Amino acid sequence: MSLGGGLPRAYPGAMSLTADTPVGTDARAAAPGVPPEVDVAEAVLDVCRAARAASKALATATRATKDAALLAVADALVAQAPRVVAANGRDLERGAAEGLPANLLDRLRLDADRLGAIADAVRDVAALPDPVGEVVRGQTLPNGLRLRQLRVPMGVVAVVYEARPNVTVDAAALALKSGNAVVLRGGSAARETNALVVEVVREALAAAGLPADLVSTVDAYGREGVRALMRARGLVDVLVPRGGAGLIAEVVRSSTVPVIETGTGNCHVYVDAAADLDVALAVALNSKTQRTSTCNTAETVLVHAAVADAFLPSLLTAMSAAGVRLHGDDAVRAAAEPLDGVDVEPATDEDWATEYLALELAVGVVPDLDAALAHVDRWSTGHTEAVVTRDLAVAERFAAEVDSAAVMVNASTRFTDGAQMGLGAEIGISTQKLHARGPMGLAELTTTRWVVTGDGHVRG
Amino acid sequence: MSLGGGLPRAYPGAMSLTADTPVGTDARAAAPGVPPEVDVAEAVLDVCRAARAASKALATATRATKDAALLAVADALVAQAPRVVAANGRDLERGAAEGLPANLLDRLRLDADRLGAIADAVRDVAALPDPVGEVVRGQTLPNGLRLRQLRVPMGVVAVVYEARPNVTVDAAALALKSGNAVVLRGGSAARETNALVVEVVREALAAAGLPADLVSTVDAYGREGVRALMRARGLVDVLVPRGGAGLIAEVVRSSTVPVIETGTGNCHVYVDAAADLDVALAVALNSKTQRTSTCNTAETVLVHAAVADAFLPSLLTAMSAAGVRLHGDDAVRAAAEPLDGVDVEPATDEDWATEYLALELAVGVVPDLDAALAHVDRWSTGHTEAVVTRDLAVAERFAAEVDSAAVMVNASTRFTDGAQMGLGAEIGISTQKLHARGPMGLAELTTTRWVVTGDGHVRG
């Protein structure tokens, strides 16, 4: 399934919530339609209250009810394709007029085919097992008390995102399947598309006998609305920001609602002295070039000095042939010197720190595993790191000491993905340690409740 | 084991971090010893950096190493009892001079017996299974990739607390056992005790061959130090506030570090129409009076109208006899009228909202289960609610629809406790939904890492 196959990235230059356009600056700028007499904060809290009330109906709904609603949503999206495509056309027109780059316009674009794929993804979510009601742990205590820890919905999930309109549907489907209401705040570049998609989803829910308020949007309230959403503690149970580093940092800074950070991936591939160099080349190339815009793409390759001479020429030549712009330390640049048509710029600290999300790579030579681990510890964002080695002790130490959500041993960094890992669709990839780490699927949108049954048990 | 048997409460009136003395107001007030030229924020970050470095040594330590260190800590606390008791005596003297109430002085007091019990609790933690290294999930994918989700330490845990000095040791023991470093900020009333206890623990760790920086305190840096700790994102992985509602609210508001809320418990007992009234009386009495200062103590009893006449006289008489001050709605007050020596004040919204933590109780009559659920939904803090009923459908609905960390069916609210639930010692009881809900034991102080092993796997 395609949800989250690659996390959507920020649209640099779009009218979205990034580090360049901080929340709270010119708060109503993105909500020109809100009359000044409207209390935006209160209006957003009303949306959250309605979502909370609706969530109670869904919390105890059966899987059959939820799946039927999801299938109705999928059908409605297909049935309303012409209207959605038309609304999307207006977003595209405005984007073009405002100078949105061609690649971003392409991401924004919805046609009947893409909408069909989005509807199929909703059907895939319907086909996933329901996480709600799972007995996570349970036992009978010596005093006869019966304990069950049950998986239950969070309640209200908020998603703030910048990217492609498919996130609107993906987030709604995952929230509904896990028994939650969702409050959405999408990128302003897609605002007409998102508004109509939310309307279509709400109508489908109501027709299926569920409250429309299970899915709502605060797009109409601009940046001031996002601020209110981030402060809706007690009404919103978790906020998931999806987008660029600027958005995520701002949400983390400003939220009193619990946040799960997703998606920044400065991922490393370490080629050990004991690496199979053919495997190393394949893993490095795939990690870098298979899809550059995703958070699980490698941004740095570190090579053990013992294999640098044997490996760097083929690595640099292959990366160069794949169109990858290269940055290297002195050893790497020296190795590139004799290679025809391979150009390696000097790597700076900024290169080691950068998540390029493009055909661009930093390459370094390290004297040993310790140095590789120290480099990763300093520069990684804690997403995914890969080691290529035939040495069991090296693999074990790398896996034990790298402090990231995922470690790949002789495999591409691109496998850190809910669908690839057999976990089903994901709402994002968590790079924090609390609650969810790595791909966040349905179970990560739930919490638990202890139910303890006695026969009049009291404490002595 | 006694850790967290009842959460410590705030010392109202103590020189601690409460709603009355917000963080950031008169920031150096509690750190009179810090010279003005010291950059407190940087000093606290240095403490966190040292903790982080030390945590790496512990992350891969075996259980045997960790348990040996814990036993050494327990022995050192006993060996140093005279010094600790002397330091505690100075805290008690200062507290008495500053007018600390007698019950708070009692909580602050450490004697050789109490220190022995604290050391025993550390030995109990050593005897618990090690959560680190557990394979939480795992499978081999169709393409041959081998997946394991491993339980690993968080890294650095921070605990901000107001209460009894035993929390210093409890928190350190739980953090160490789960492979984490801990940075502590204790209540200023216990500052000499805490400073010496931390010193004793650090010396014991060093003697056991582990870094002393696994356990440190920022008490010396006053409230400005707490602020820095709450902002040490990237260095501190999770912050657990333990104490009163004011402390917790302030931490939630000011932290950029992920926080787990603990401990506010406005717990309810609902006596259903189908209740066994003897069971109801026993459960209500135990929930209210067994230990009033704990977060799992009941603060409101709701009685179904159908059994109000039969139940209220015995409930009100028994509570009154137990010294419980009563607040009731009109129906409850009418029922109390003919009872000898039973006085019921009118219950206000403030009563329904209050976590008394004392021999004080609000009592209401509800027309049906729906009204009981609505009352709980409005006033509960999401900690623990109990239902007393013989009706399976009522029990199931109460358990399904109450949105709290724990639901007790025919059992006292006082069972929401790590030790009582057979989960081992706890660092607090989470009332939030993210990461941990209910008693937080060793597993809740860990995160997970995906380790994916291939044979040169790449994505197509």
Q: Which sequence spans correspond to the domains of chain B?
A: 40-254, 267-415
Residue-level pLDDT at A104: 85
Residue-level pLDDT at A376: 98
State yes or no: pLDDT of B31 exceeds 60: no
Contact B458 A406 (CB under 8 A): no
Best mutation target among B294, B451, B455 (most A Cβ atoms within 10 Å) is B451
Residue-level pLDDT at B38: 81
Does domain A40-254 correspond to CATH entry 3.30.300.130? no
* Sheet of A384-388, strand order: A344-346, A325-328, A360-366, A298-304, A267-271, A384-388, A406-411, B446-457, B146-153, B135-140
State yes or no: pLDDT of B267 exceeds 90: yes
Residue-level pLDDT at A31: 55
Best mutation target among A52, A135, A447, A448 (most B Cβ atoms within 10 Å) is A447
pLDDT tens digits for range A247-270: 888 888 889 898 988 878 999 999
The lowest-confidence range among A199-203, B284-288, B421-425 is B421-425
Q: How far is CA A8 from the centre of its chain?
A: 7
Q: Which two tokens stand for residue A329?
A: 């330390």
State yes or no: pLDDT of A223 exceeds 50: yes
Q: What are phi and psi of A400, to 5 degrees?
A: -80, -30
List residues bridging with B157 in a β-sheet. Answer: B182, B238
* CA–CA separation, B259 and B243 (whole Å): 14
Q: What are phi and psi of B76, to 5 degrees?
A: -65, -40
Interface size A-B, in CB pairs within 8 Å, comes to 201
* CA–CA separation, B262 and B441 (whole Å): 12
The lowest-confidence range among A71-80, A250-259, B172-181, B192-201 is A250-259
The amino acid that residue B104 corresponds to is L
Residue-level pLDDT at A330: 98
How is residue B433 annotated by DSSP?
A: S
What does pLDDT average to over chain A? 91
pLDDT tens digits for range B307-346: 999 999 999 999 999 999 999 999 999 999 999 999 999 9
CB of A233 within 8 Å of a chain B CB? The answer is yes
Longest dimension (CA), chain B: 83
pLDDT tens digits for range B37-47: 789 999 999 99
CA distance B89 to chain A (A): 32
* CA–CA separation, B212 and B175 (whole Å): 14
Q: Which two tokens stand for residue B136?
A: 């939480």
* CA–CA separation, A444 and A198 (whole Å): 23
Cβ atoms within 10 Å of A254's Cβ, excluding its own: 17
Contact A406 B449 (CB under 8 A): yes
Residue-level pLDDT at B406: 98
Q: How far is CA B165 from the centre of its chain?
A: 14
* CA–CA separation, A423 and A405 (whole Å): 15
Residue-level pLDDT at B272: 98
As assigned by CATH, the class of the A267-415 domain is alpha beta
* pLDDT-based confidence at residue A32 (cuts at 50, 70, 90): low
- State in Å, rounded, how far the first CA of chain A is from the last one: 54
Which of B279, B280, B282, B236 is CA-nearest to residue B258?
B236
Query: Is the confidence metric ipTM above 0.95 for this complex?
Result: no
pLDDT tens digits for range B239-260: 999 877 788 888 888 898 989 8
Residue A71's Cβ-count burial label (10 Å; 0-12, 13-18, 19+) is middle
CB of A450 within 8 Å of a chain B CB? The answer is yes
pLDDT tens digits for range A328-342: 999 999 999 999 999
State yes or no: pLDDT of B103 exceeds 70: yes
Average pLDDT over residues B158-179: 92
Q: Which two tokens stand for residue A228?
A: 């209110």
* CA–CA separation, A403 and B153 (whole Å): 10
Q: Which residues of B touch A154 (CB under 8 A)?
A: 433
Give the length of chain B: 460
* CA–CA separation, B80 and A99 (whole Å): 72
Residue-level pLDDT at B3: 36
Query: Do the strands B438-440 and B428-430 form a parallel or antiparallel pair, or are they unpaired?
Result: antiparallel
Per the listing, tokens 């040495």 go with: A391
CA distance B231 to chain A (A): 9
Cβ atoms within 10 Å of B5's Cβ, excluding its own: 18
pLDDT tens digits for range B117-145: 999 999 999 999 999 999 999 999 999 99
The lowest-confidence range among A117-131, B26-40, B150-164, B346-360 is B26-40
* pLDDT-based confidence at residue B102 (cuts at 50, 70, 90): confident
* CA–CA separation, A219 and A56 (whole Å): 24
Cβ atoms within 10 Å of A137's Cβ, excluding its own: 13
List residues bridging with B448 in a β-sheet. Answer: B151
pLDDT tens digits for range B431-452: 989 999 999 999 999 999 999 9
Domains B40-254 and B267-415 share a fold: no
Q: Assign A148 to helix, strand or coil.
A: strand
The set of residues, in sequence order, having a beta carbon less than 8 Å from that of A178 and lying 6+ positions away, is A131, A132, A153, A154, A442, A443, A445, A446
State yes or no: pLDDT of A1 exceeds 70: no
Distances (CA, A) of B285 to A114, B139, B369, B411: 62, 49, 21, 11
Q: Which residues of B36-56 are buried (b: 16+ CB within 10 A; e: fewer)?
A: eeeebbebbbebbebbbebbb
